[in-house]
Amino acid sequence: MGPEAIDKLKKYAKSKAGVPLRKMSLLRNFYARHRTHSSLVHYSIALFPFALLAQLTGEYLDGERLRFAGVFMTVCGTIMLLPAFISGFITFGLNRGFKTRGNYSLRVKIILTPFIALSAAAASYMGIASGCSPGPEYSALLMVICFFMIIMEFNGKKLTFKDIG
């Protein structure tokens, strides 16, 4: 780390009045500028519906490669859920102080998160265990995951921070 990078960090660590910010404020500013949670969530939001589409199309056309692509997207979406959940938990703590009072959409997200995680893990296991030729149970689980994600996104009301500066 060069001297100019250290100067940037020192400048970043001071507020407009020149008073050093607390560590929590630094972390909050980092999350506000980089939007890690919203960046990570979009990968899994995209992968699961496309996995379902690939699976259903593969069943209709009897395409082994499409079913393999569906399983691959399901596994990748499941792996991407972990960093998305962790960053969402951090963002929730920084932004709301782990309080959900009066926020219905946030409660829905907190309730549905474990169901999505368990369904995604089960779908990934089913896809891998079946040799990338899963049956209708796999498709049903993907539909459940997509349904839960639609509910979570419809209730949206962003958990991320507003723009700074």
Between residues 9 and 159, the one the model is more confident about: 9
pLDDT of residue 108: 83
Q: What is the 3-state secondary structure (H, E, C) of 23-89?
A: HHHHHHHHHHHHCHHHHHHHHHHHHHHHHHHHHHHHHHHCCHHHHHHHHHHHHHHHHHHHHHHHHHH
| Proportion of the chain above pLDDT 90, given as a percent | 27
Q: 110-124 pLDDT, tens per residue?
A: 888 899 999 999 999
Q: Is 74 exposed, middle or buried (0-12, 13-18, 19+ CB in 10 A)?
A: buried
Q: Is 113 in a helix, a strand, or coil?
A: helix
pLDDT (tens digit per residue) in 79-112: 999 988 888 888 777 777 778 777 777 788 888 8
CA-closest candidate to residue 52, choices 35, 37, 74 = 74
Per residue in 34-79, pLDDT (tens digit) is 667 777 777 888 899 999 999 989 888 888 899 899 999 999 999 9
pLDDT number for residue 100: 76
How far is Cα 24 from Cα 35, in angstroms, rounded to an integer?
A: 16
Q: Mapping DSSP to helix (H, G, I), strand (E, B) and coil, where does residue 5 land?
A: helix
Say what the pLDDT of residue 152 is.
Answer: 81
- At residue 96, the pLDDT reads 74
Bigger pLDDT: 31 vs 44? 44
User: For position 159, what pLDDT does the model report?
Assistant: 43
For tokens 């995680």, name the residue.
117
